[in-house]
């Protein structure tokens, strides 16, 4: 069976959830194999086995983690050439990974598909689905040349554990080219940890817009009751009510959670561009004509300062 390579996203070996989703998708397409680059493999090993990685390629190259994306593309290309038959390379859709994927596709002379929301096995290789134009269209696509390189949005699959897997560990020595050494990491600063999940990876996102009038309290309380992340529209960010790192949309983050709750957000096209692929969309808006209602699965016409606290109480009662 052909292998499906998954680039492991991790912080010092702590494997991030999108990688477990990709291993689950990889199992549909062939034999899941993880590619681990950087320090901390010992911390990652158990998780990779738990989610069914049959093989782990551990890339070793002097100082590889000291450089930006270029060495990772070289490392993945080296793994592809060492691995034998490879059905696809999967990466979680993030800014960094999309850059790696583009460089890798050029190196492999392969086709590239980014931001897939579904990947299934097809007769001639993986078949992907992308959601475009504010979710108005779905595009089904396949790579027609080379080893398909595919980036997949977080929350596109429910991670499945697999019992009794002991991955074969394969070491891949890589020498980073001078070309890939032209940009170097000079400092890494840990992000301040709130108790909330990372916005782009969260299964639930509750966002607030101009309708909050700067009071994100009810939005945060509802997000916390559901164990979700907090997002914001650009109007809220531009007003200085919430940090830009929480902005959802065309010029902010792209999210694809299981549940997206838009409160006090009108639903401008630029906002939709960042959340249209969410599985279930709920809006709370006091204007029944707000464009966001064209997009939602459930809409509540009402004042967010009344609706959100009631919803929060209901959730907490059921806990």
Residue in 23, 269, 299, 318 with CA at minimum distance from that of residue 167 = 23
Nearer to ligand FAD, 30 or 264 (CB): 264
Structure tokens at 57: 């390629």
Q: How far is residue 108 CA from its own chain's centroid?
A: 24
> Within 7-36, which residues bind ligand FAD (CB under 6 A)?
none
Whether 248 has a binding-site annotation, put simply, is yes
Q: Could you tell me which residues are beta bridge partners of residue 33?
A: 5, 55
138 assigned to a ligand binding site: no
Q: Is 215 in the site for ligand FAD (CB under 6 A)?
A: no
Q: Which is nearer to ligand FAD, 127 or 273 (CB)?
A: 273
The only residue of 274, 278, 281, 311 in contact with ligand FAD, by rule CB under 6 A: 274
Query: Does 130 show up as a binding residue in the annotation?
Result: no
Cβ at position 229, least distance to ligand FAD in Å: 15
If binding is defined by CB under 6 A, does position 210 make contact with ligand FAD? yes
Among the listed residues 5, 6, 88, 235, the single contact to ligand FAD using CB under 6 A: 235
Is residue 264 involved in binding ligand FAD (CB under 6 A)? yes
Give me the least distance between CB of 218 and ligand FAD, in Å please. Answer: 10
Burial zone of 32 (CB within 10 Å; 0-12 exposed, 13-18 middle, 19+ buried): buried
State which of residues 68, 268, 279, 309 lies at the interface with ligand FAD (CB under 6 A). 268
- Smallest gap from Cβ 287 to ligand FAD, in A, equals 4
Of 75 and 304, nearer to ligand FAD (C-beta) is 304
- In this complex, which beta carbon is closest to ligand FAD, that of residue 38 or of residue 209? 209
| Residue choice 5, 229, 290, 311 for contact with ligand FAD (CB under 6 A) | 290
The single residue among 3, 70, 271, 281 that binds ligand FAD, judged by CB under 6 A, is 271
Tokens of 36: 């681990």
218 near ligand FAD, judged by CB under 6 A? no
Which residues line the annotated binding site for FAD? Answer: 210, 233-234, 247-251, 264-271, 285
Q: Which residues bind ligand FAD (CB under 6 A)?
A: 209-211, 233-236, 247-252, 264-266, 268, 270-271, 274, 284-287, 290, 303-305
């Amino acid at each position: 069976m052909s292998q499906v390579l998954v680039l492991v996203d991790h912080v010092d070996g702590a494997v991030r959830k999108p990688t477990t989703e990709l291993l689950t998708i990889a199992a549909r397409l062939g034999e899941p194999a993880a590619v681990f680059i950087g320090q901390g493999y010992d911390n990652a090993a158990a998780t990779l086995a738990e989610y069914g990685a049959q093989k782990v390629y551990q890339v070793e190259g002097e100082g590889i983690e000291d450089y930006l994306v270029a060495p990772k593309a070289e490392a993945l290309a080296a793994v592809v050439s060492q691995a034998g038959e490879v059905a696809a390379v999967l990466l979680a859709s993030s800014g960094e990974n999309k850059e790696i994927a583009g460089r890798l596709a050029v190196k492999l002379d392969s086709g590239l598909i980014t931001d897939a929301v579904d990947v299934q096995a097809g007769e001639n290789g993986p078949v992907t689905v992308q959601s475009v134009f504010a979710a108005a269209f779905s595009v089904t696509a396949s790579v027609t040349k080379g080893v398909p390189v595919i980036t997949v949005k977080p929350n596109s699959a429910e991670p499945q554990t697999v019992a009794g897997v002991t991955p074969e560990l394969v070491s891949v020595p890589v020498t980073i080219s001078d070309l890939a050494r032209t940009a170097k990491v000079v400092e890494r600063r840990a992000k301040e940890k709130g108790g909330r999940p990372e916005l782009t990876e969260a299964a639930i996102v509750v966002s607030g817009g101009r309708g909050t009038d700067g009071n994100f309290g009810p939005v945060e309380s509802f997000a916390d009751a559901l164990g979700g992340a907090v997002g914001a529209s650009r109007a809220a960010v531009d007003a200085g009510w919430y940090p830009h790192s929480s902005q959802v949309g065309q010029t902010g983050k792209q999210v694809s959670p299981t549940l997206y709750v838009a409160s006090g957000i009108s639903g401008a096209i630029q906002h939709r561009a960042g959340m249209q692929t969410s599985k279930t969309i709920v809006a709370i808006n006091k204007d029944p004509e707000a464009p966001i209602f064209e997009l939602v699965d459930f809409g509540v016409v009402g004042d967010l300062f009344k609706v959100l606290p009631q919803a929060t109480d209901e959730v907490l009662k059921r806990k």
